[in-house]
Amino acid sequence: MNVGDRHYRTIWLSDDGRSVEIIDQRWLPHDFRVEKVSTVAGIATAIRDMWVRGAPLIGVTAAYGVAIQMADDPSDAALDGVWEVLHETRPTAINLRWALDEMRNFLRPLPSGQRAEAAYRRAGEIADEDVSLNRAIGANGLEIIKEIVARKQPGEPVNILTHCNAGWLATVDYGTATAPIYLAVEAGIPVHVYVDETRPRNQGAQLTAWEMAGHGVPHTLIVDNAGGHLMQRGQIDMVIVGTDRTTADGDVCNKIGTYLKALAAADNDVPFYVALPSPTIDWTVGDGLAEIPIEQRSSDEVSLVWGKTASGEIAQVRISPETTPAANPAFDVTPARLVTGLITERGVAKASREGLKAMFPGR
């Protein structure tokens, strides 16, 4: 999407045809830095140290890492080696593993002399496929936004609440939860986005707000505590969030706090949608609450807040007593009963086993 006047993806091939350029997201929203990465070690660092984040983007970055390796050394040993090196950077990231497997399986049968070119081509395809997937999600979500517009006064904006960052920064472009928003903007529909700051890591305040500001989407930052109140007052027309994992029964695992917004939406008859590419559906799990283990992250993410001081320095401040321990569950599970619909690339499915089976009959 746009950063001011210019369109960007989160990752693209350099003019040299060999390196990739990425947005180093660690400095957002305070500093917009593009970095050229030319080595496998550089790709590993970018994934491990979260210069790039978001499942789809991690996968694409890893695919380009394999391509860089093939340009250096297209041997079988190098192909296995780069798989190992990159897989270790974020071992629990499913998209990372998928992309590495995809690249290795695609390249293995090829003669080594053809591997480099084929690898760059396939990595580029994976990037483009992500964009297409997100545009398809966006188009399906746009239909919902249009239905809301039809019930409004002319020119009145559709107020959309989102939590965390399921935006273009988490993908190659468009994002998942944000795709319907960007397509609405493209279609000239007035939207206004309430952005949950999304403690503890503030991805809403740092990333989603930055995306909206860069692309010129009217938006307002709120604390995570405020969404329920806004819904009570009729100030939210719909909620759209992303998901890390959706179960075959339609339960949604997403950033901590999503469940509270879903409760408030249900209590106030506000439609609550989850946008997801179908590969994030985990068909092996039914009951999300019982079966999905929740990652416990560092207490420092709760106790320390990162930002920019008045003098322009990047700093962390402690908000609590040194002796106070903190717990930091990273995700929660929103039961399917609270989800109005699952916006996939194929259409909007009911959040239930029947709904998902009807949309994805092969599964």
Residue 115 binds its own copies (CB under 8 A): no
254 assigned ligand-binding residue: yes
Yes or no: say if 268 and 232 are a contact pair by the CB < 8 Å rule: yes
Identified binder of its own copies from the candidate list 35, 307, 350, 353, rule CB under 8 A: 307
CA atoms of 257 and 264, how far apart (whole Å): 11
55 assigned ligand-binding residue: yes
Decide whether 286 or 307 has the Cβ nearer to its own copies: 307
SS3 assignment for 180-209: HHHHHHHCCCCEEEEEECCCCCCHHHHHHH
Question: How many CB atoms neighbour CB 318 within 10 A?
Answer: 11
CA 96 to chain CA centroid, Å, is 14
DSSP 296: B
Residue 198 binds its own copies (CB under 8 A): yes
Identified binder of its own copies from the candidate list 23, 79, 172, 212, rule CB under 8 A: 212
Identified binder of its own copies from the candidate list 65, 138, 167, 257, rule CB under 8 A: 257
DSSP letters, 162-176, are E-S--SGGGSSSS-S
Identified binder of its own copies from the candidate list 5, 309, 361, 362, rule CB under 8 A: 309
String of contacts with its own copies for each residue 213-242, x by CB under 8 A: x-----xxxxxxxxxxxx-x----------
Question: How many CB atoms neighbour CB 85 within 10 A?
Answer: 17
Residue 315 binds its own copies (CB under 8 A): yes
String of contacts with its own copies for each residue 237-256, x by CB under 8 A: ------------------xx
Q: Minimum distance between the CB of residue 308 and its own copies, rounded to whole angstroms?
A: 5
Active site residue 16: no
Identified binder of its own copies from the candidate list 62, 119, 195, 359, rule CB under 8 A: 195
Residue 345 binds its own copies (CB under 8 A): no
Identified binder of its own copies from the candidate list 143, 267, 295, 300, rule CB under 8 A: 267
Residue 133 binds its own copies (CB under 8 A): no
Q: Which helix (H) or strand (E) holds 43?
A: helix 40-48
Identified binder of its own copies from the candidate list 6, 154, 310, 361, rule CB under 8 A: 310
CA atoms of 212 and 134, how far apart (whole Å): 17
Which pair of structure tokens corresponds to residue 292? Answer: 């999905």
Q: Which helix (H) or strand (E) holds 245?
A: strand 245-247
Yes or no: say if 147 and 158 are a contact pair by the CB < 8 Å rule: no
105 assigned ligand-binding residue: no
Nearest to 253 by CA among 345, 355, 357, 330: 330
Select from 45-53, 95-103, 212-220, 238-246 the region that touches its own copies (CB under 8 A): 212-220
Identify the active-site residue in 224, 237, 244, 249: 244
Nearest to 36 by CA among 22, 18, 46, 17: 22
| The residue type at 309 | T
Residue 303 binds its own copies (CB under 8 A): yes
CA atoms of 43 and 52, how far apart (whole Å): 10
Q: Which residues are catalytic?
A: 244
Contact set with its own copies (CB under 8 A): 29-30, 194-195, 197-200, 202, 205-206, 209-210, 212-213, 219-230, 232, 255-257, 259-261, 263-264, 267, 289, 294, 299, 302-310, 315-321, 323-329, 331-333
